[in-house]
Structures are given as C-alpha cells and as structure tokens.
C-alpha cells in the first residue's frame, strides 16, 4: 500500500489529458485528497490501494481514512464506482466527502466526529471501467460477480446473476479458479485490514441502474437465507424509521430482488463472521432507482450512461443531496451503537422474529 505524501500536486499531473477528459471524477477526487491532506487539522489519511493499468494509462485506487488508526474501533465505510457506468454513485460518495471536508473547516461537531470515529471512503473502485464507460473493469470482469461465491440454485442461463461464458457479455465473473481481479482483491485486503478487527462496523456500497426507487440491500445475494445479523439489521431499520420517518428507502435482503454469484459483500461478510463471531459488520448496498430518471426523461435510454445516471442538472443535484442524511445516520450509528448492537438475548429474539416475518415468510 502506497501512502500519499504532501504535496499532492505531484499526484495531479499524473493524470493524462485523456484521463482528465474521460474521468473528471478522478481529477475531482485528487483535488479533494489534496484539500483533505492540506487541511491544518490533518483529519484524513489517503492511501493508494492499487495502481490500475490499462493500455498506456494508469489510475490510482484511492481510499480516505478519518479517525483513529486503531482498526478495532467502530468503523463506517462508504464505497462507490464498482461499476464504471454508474458514475452517479461515485459522485454521491464524493458529495458526502466534500460536505465533511467543508464542515470540518469550522464545525466543531464534525471535527469531533471525524477525529473520534473511524470513517473510510473509497469513491472510485473501478476507475478503468469508468474511464472506458463500461460496467466491468479493464479485463471485462464484473467486480460484483467476481468473488469466490457460488449462488445457490441459479440457472446458468441467468446471465444477469453472473456467468463464465464470455467476457464479451456483461456480468462476466472471470475465469474459473482465477484469483480475484486487482480491484476486488485491493478492496478485500482493505476491508480485512481496516474493518475486520472492529467488533462494530457498517459499510454502504453505492450503485444505480435497478428499479424505480431507492433500495437499501443487505446480504445475501447468494441465497435466500436470513443473515445471522438479522436482529441488528432490523434494529438499524428502526433507527432509520424513527429518526427519518419520511425516508425514501425500501430496506430488504438483496435476494428479494435477484440472486447473484460472486457478490463481494457476501464474501466479505462470511469471512468477517469467521474472524469475529461475536462482532457485527453489516455491509449495505444502496441501489439507486435509476429507472425513474429514465421514465421522466426517456430520451436518455439511447445513451450508454443514460440507464444508470440522472442527466438533467436539477435531477443530478437532487440525487447528490438525497442520501447525505443516510450516510450521516449510519456514521452516527457506529459512533453510538448501543441501540442496535450488544442487544439482550430476548430483544434479539424479538427482532429476529420481526425480521423473519417481514422479509423471509413464505407468501
Ligand atoms: Zn452497480
């Protein structure tokens, strides 16, 4: 892992003209990194998790870390840009990062939060895919179908759930038995190092391109079984429902919508459980309902990015501010985790029954 050192200006010119044109998000991210590192309070650390090469170009996979270095402390992490077409996800993560950096210039409460609570942000997991305007990475592998996880009972013809037929089709998992792609491996190692030691952790991975409203998914994608942390998920759902009763999210296990092979969060969740059987790490996925943007502006269906991103400026702005309160709530939920973890056995049982009834009961 390479650490960025001041001054960061030396990093910005590394982007070629073509990269700046094709990946403005990376340029913005480097500027945010520069701001973060040069702020007098030195609240953030920036790591280069990997250097990703494609043709003549090379892109950094950047991670921001706030808070104490001790990874056994409660941790909140936000990821974006696993799928290169879903640029709005990256922009949503960067929007939160920008807000925090601005607030940290003068707001004591934000400074206190950022110095005492661990927060990790990885806004562009797949910069090569974003540069090439494709879902997959530079090797045509779908990074959310690439982990060594086999879904149960999924037909081989259900291509959307991941396949090994050909890299020419979307949702390609990579070759059988091959190691995970560099991006997936880098994120896995990062999570293992920065989250696995924590007894309390929440992550959220931001996507778009499915459905007409915003969904907050939790594992599993590989089967329809309830996850062991179902009581904690219900407790978090109650927090969200109570603090923001007008929130817009449909909270559900991903398997209620579709099953998929190779989901990185399924993989990471199971690994964490092996290491921290008494800990709680909830990896959420925010799937922003992009079909609504298409419905309201149908002409964008004809562009490759149109199915995954809002196009009209007011809709982009609305999306960029729409999820800030959710990130803030989850950030607070790791700082003050008493309402959702360390629950009494009887309360866990009560919440478990509620969760089973809500999401897993046979119709
Ligand atoms: Zn996605």
Separation of 306 CA from ligand 1 center, angstroms? 14
Separation of 92 CA from ligand 1 center, angstroms? 13
pLDDT at site 13: 44
Q: What is the tally of structural domains in the chain?
A: 1
Separation of 278 CA from ligand 1 center, angstroms? 30
Separation of 60 CA from ligand 1 center, angstroms? 20
Separation of 346 CA from ligand 1 center, angstroms? 37
Separation of 83 CA from ligand 1 center, angstroms? 5
Which pLDDT tens digit goes with each residue over 32-49?
A: 998 888 887 888 999 999
Separation of 86 CA from ligand 1 center, angstroms? 6
Which pLDDT tens digit goes with each residue over 169-227?
A: 999 999 999 999 999 999 999 999 999 999 999 999 999 988 888 999 999 999 999 99
Residue 117 CA to residue 290 CA, distance in Å, equals 32
Separation of 20 CA from ligand 1 center, angstroms? 23
pLDDT at site 319: 82
Q: Which domain holds residue 326?
A: 2-360
Are 94 and 31 spatial neighbours (Cβ–Cβ below 8 Å)?
A: no
pLDDT at site 37: 87
HEC string for the chain = CEECCCCHHHCHHHCCHHHHHHCHHHHHHHHHHHHHHHCCCCCEEEEEEEEEEECCEEEEEEEEEECCCCCCCCEEEEEECCCCCCHHHHHHHHHHHHHHHHHCCCCHHHHHHHHHCEEEEECCCCHHHHHHCCCCCCCCCCCCCCCCCCCCCCCCCCHHHCECCCCCCCCECCCCCCCCCHHHHHHHHHHHHHCCCCCEEEEEEEEECCCCCCEEEECCCCCCCCCCCHHHHHHHHHHHHHHCCCCCCEEEEHHHCCCCCCCHHHHHHHHHHHHCCCCEEEEEEEEECCHHHHHHCHHHHHCCCCCCCCCCHHHHHHHHHHCHHHHHHHHHHHHCCCCCCCCCHHHHHHHHHHHHHHHHCCC
Residue 40 CA to residue 44 CA, distance in Å, equals 11
Residues in the 5 Å CB sphere of ion ligand 1 = 83, 86, 207
pLDDT at site 314: 82
Residue 223 CA to residue 227 CA, distance in Å, equals 10
Separation of 104 CA from ligand 1 center, angstroms? 30
Separation of 207 CA from ligand 1 center, angstroms? 4
Low-confidence residues of the chain, pLDDT below 70? 1-14, 290-306, 363
**CATH code for the domain in which residue 13 is found:** 3.40.630.10
Separation of 105 CA from ligand 1 center, angstroms? 33
Separation of 208 CA from ligand 1 center, angstroms? 6
Are 95 and 107 spatial neighbours (Cβ–Cβ below 8 Å)?
A: no
């Amino acid at each position: 892992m390479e650490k960025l050192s001041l001054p960061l200006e030396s990093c910005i010119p590394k982007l070629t003209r073509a990269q700046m044109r094709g990946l403005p998000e990376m340029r913005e991210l480097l500027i945010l990194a520069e701001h973060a590192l040069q702020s007098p309070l030195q609240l953030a650390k920036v790591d280069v998790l990997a250097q990703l090469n494609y043709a003549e170009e090379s892109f950094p996979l950047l991670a921001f870390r706030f808070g104490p270095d001790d990874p056994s402390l409660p941790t909140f992490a936000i990821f974006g840009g696993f799928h290169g077409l879903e640029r709005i996800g990256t922009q949503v993560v960067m929007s939160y990062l920008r807000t925090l950096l601005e607030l940290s210039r003068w707001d004591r409460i934000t400074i206190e939060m950022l110095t005492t609570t661990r927060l990790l942000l990885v806004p562009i997991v797949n910069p090569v895919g974003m540069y090439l305007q494709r879902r997959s990475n530079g090797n045509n592998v779908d990074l959310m179908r690439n982990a060594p996880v086999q879904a149960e009972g999924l037909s081989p013809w259900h291509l959307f759930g991941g396949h090994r037929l050909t890299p020419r089709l979307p949702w390609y998992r990579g070759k059988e038995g091959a190691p995970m792609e560099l991006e997936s491996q880098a994120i896995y190692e990062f999570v293992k190092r920065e989250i696995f030691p924590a007894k309390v952790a929440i992550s959220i991975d931001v996507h778009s391109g499915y459905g007409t409203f915003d969904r907050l998914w939790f594992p599993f994608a590989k089967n329809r079984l309830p996850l062991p942390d179902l009581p904690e998920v219900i407790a978090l759902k109650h927090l969200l429902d109570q603090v923001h009763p007008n929130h817009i999210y449909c909270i559900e296990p991903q398997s209620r919508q579709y099953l998929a092979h190779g989901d990185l969060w399924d993989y990471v969740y199971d690994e964490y459980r092996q290491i921290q059987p008494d800990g709680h790490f909830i990896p959420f996925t925010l799937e922003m309902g992009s079909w609504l943007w298409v419905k309201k502006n149908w002409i964008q269906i004809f562009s490759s990015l149109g199915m995954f991103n809002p196009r009209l400026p007011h809709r982009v702005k609305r999306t960029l501010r729409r999820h800030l309160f959710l990130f803030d709530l989850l950030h607070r939920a790791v700082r003050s985790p008493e309402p959702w973890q360390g629950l009494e056995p009887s309360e866990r049982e009560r919440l478990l029954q509620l969760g089973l009834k809500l999401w897993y009961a046979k119709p």
